[in-house]
């Protein structure tokens, strides 16, 4: 397998796909597609006009080496996902659906098609509505990759 950059780029392409569960849901809820961006850090400025959005970062890599000199990596990839919702009564439902559509899209293809060995959604946390009408959550995905 090649560079992990390929895996990240394939994730972006997958999430941007027009027929994916994520984009179909976004069109139905917000009448626009989710913007997907690769970022280096979690404190990236986001304009309200860019919402809904997913920022993709890779803050952690755990390396291991095999006897034959292959390099295995367990990458922690974080998705910072946000949307605008003026109505507090529907924000929680949309938050849950947003997270479910991300998972459904990630799991809609075999990890090998993205250049990975294993793709495993892990923890997520939300901002508890502190920045109403803007809602964000972060979810971690563990990706195993060999190069």
Name the DSSP class of 108.
T
Name the DSSP class of 117.
S
Please list the ranges in the chain whose pLDDT falls under 70: 1, 42, 66-67, 69
Residue 78: the pLDDT is: 94
Say if CB 119 and CB 143 are below 8 A apart. yes
Nearest to 28 by CA among 101, 104, 106, 105: 101
Residue 42: the pLDDT is: 63
Residues 46-70 have pLDDT tens digits of 899 999 999 999 888 888 776 676 7
Q: What is the pTM of this model?
A: 0.91
Distance of alpha carbon 48 from the chain centroid: 19
Say if CB 125 and CB 140 are below 8 A apart. no
Count Cβ atoms below 10 Å from residue 43 Cβ, excluding itself.
7
């Amino acid at each position: 397998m090649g560079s992990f950059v390929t895996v990240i780029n394939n994730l972006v392409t997958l999430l941007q796909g027009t027929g994916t569960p994520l984009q179909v849901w976004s069109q139905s809820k917000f009448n626009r597609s989710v913007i997907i961006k690769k970022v280096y850090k979690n404190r990236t400025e986001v304009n309200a006009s860019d919402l809904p959005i997913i920022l993709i970062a890779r803050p952690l890599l755990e390396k291991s080496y095999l006897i034959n000199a292959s390099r295995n990596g367990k990458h922690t990839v974080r998705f910072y996902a946000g949307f605008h919702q003026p109505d507090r009564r529907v924000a929680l439902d949309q938050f849950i659906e947003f997270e479910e559509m991300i998972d459904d899209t990630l799991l809609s293809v075999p990890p090998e098609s993205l250049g990975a060995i294993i793709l495993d959604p892990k923890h997520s946390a939300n901002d508890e509505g502190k920045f109403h009408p803007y809602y964000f959550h972060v979810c971690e995905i563990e990706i195993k990759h060999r190069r």
